[in-house]
Amino acid sequence: MFDIQLNSIPEAQAAEVLIYDRLGSGPDQISAKAFREQLESLGEVSEIRVRIHSAGGSIPEGLAIYNTLKEFGNRIPVDVFIDGVAASMASVIAMAGRTITMPASAQMMIHKPSFPQVSGGAQALRKHADDLDKWDSDLLDIYSSRSRLGREEISQMMDKETWMNGVQAFHWGFATHTTQTEVLAPVASLDNFKNVPENLKQVSGANEKDDTLTVQAETNTPEPTSEILKARAEVYGAENAVAWIGLTEAECQSKWIEAQAESVKQAQAESEELRKTVKELQAKIDEMEATAQALQLGAAEGVSTQGPPKIDGPKTLKDLVKIG
């Protein structure tokens, strides 16, 4: 499902974007072309809210949608809400948000780009491999621009196909906010992935073609009272505080490790300087011992080590001739 509509909010008009299906150019898929055309048809809006529940899909289409949202984000706020699953390229699109909000039970998945079905000769396969290497670098750039982790750590997570819930995503910097636990809604098939959490396997594919049940469930949900909203706000704050405490502890530990590493590095430098000084002193001692030995040898043989004995007598050829 893909839909963009205007929602009236006080003193502003916000566009709400639903990305609830696979990304691609085929039937029932979300194409970058249709996505951009619908956004541009809205005219002037004050904010774009993107709601994601998707297993991902086409790499080129996903990157184009990401770039479109980044472009609009240069003019107006773009906020992302992950309602259930943001897997593969859907997680890349999420990174376009000024804010990225995930319930604690929502799931995000990052992995290496791949071609599920590839055919052709050696040259064609080499081109596919080159394309994958380039896309891999592009995705690393996007993830590392938001995450607190380094490129190498993110690359290792992508190698393993890493799933993370809202609190984990917040802790690692893939989300900016996490909220209360929600029941996951069905998502399109996740059969192409290898490390899908058990709770997602149970809902994957259920009602994949039936939007009526989901709409009906939303229709029958009563509006929350002010007391419920207040309680939810307190829960949001508590969960965010817990996540921030975990982050602060990790940062403190990291700072302590950095300080210890710097102390070791300084001690190593001082030790190296000391070894150099000792080596120079040892060379001087060796030189002095050699000189002392030479003096002792000269004394034993009755010969000065200061040079040949001085001989008084003629010093020039003229003097020698006179002597002769």
Q: What is the pLDDT of residues 79-113, one digit of tens each?
A: 999 999 999 999 999 999 999 999 999 999 999 99
Region label for 28, one of left (φ > 0), alpha (ψ between -120 and 50) or beta (otherwise): left
Q: In 10 A of CB 54, how many CB atoms? A: 29
Burial of 61 (0-12, 13-18, 19+ CB in 10 A): buried
Burial of 13 (0-12, 13-18, 19+ CB in 10 A): middle
Q: How far apart are the first and last CA of the chain?
A: 126
Domain assignments of the chain as residue spans, ordered by start:
2-221, 224-287
Answer for the pair 219, 119: CB distance below 8 angstroms, yes or no: no
Q: What is the pLDDT, as a whole number, of residue 145?
A: 95
The hierarchical CATH code for the domain 2-221 is: 3.90.226.10
d(CA 23, CA 35): 10
Distances from the Cα of 261 to the Cα of 32, 247, 255, 271, angstroms: 48, 21, 10, 15
pLDDT digits (tens, 9 = 90+) for 235-262: 545 555 555 555 555 555 556 666 666 7
Q: What is the pLDDT, as a whole number, of residue 190?
A: 53
Q: What is the pLDDT, as a whole number, of residue 193?
A: 54
Per-position DSSP letters for 128-151, written without gaps between them: HHHHHHHHHHHHHHHHHHH-SS-H
Q: What is the pLDDT, as a whole number, of residue 302?
A: 62
Which of 98, 19, 31 shows the shortest CA–CA distance to 58?
A: 31
Q: What is the pLDDT, as a whole number, of residue 42?
A: 86
Cα torsion 207, 177, 40, 24: sign: negative
Q: What is the pLDDT, as a whole number, of residue 222?
A: 42
d(CA 277, CA 216): 82
**Contacts of the segment 252-261: beta carbons below 8 A, 24+ positions apart:** none
d(CA 98, CA 49): 10
Q: Name 199's Cβ contacts closer than 8 Å, sequence gap at least 6.
A: 105, 184
d(CA 169, CA 173): 6
Burial of 322 (0-12, 13-18, 19+ CB in 10 A): exposed
Query: Block means of pLDDT (10 residues each) for the chain, length 324 residues?
Result: 58 84 90 93 90 94 96 95 96 97 95 81 86 93 95 94 94 90 49 56 45 29 47 52 52 61 74 83 86 79 53 52 48
Helix/strand/coil for 199: helix
* Alpha-helix runs per DSSP H in 19-88: 32-41, 59-73
Q: What is the pLDDT, as a whole number, of residue 118?
A: 72
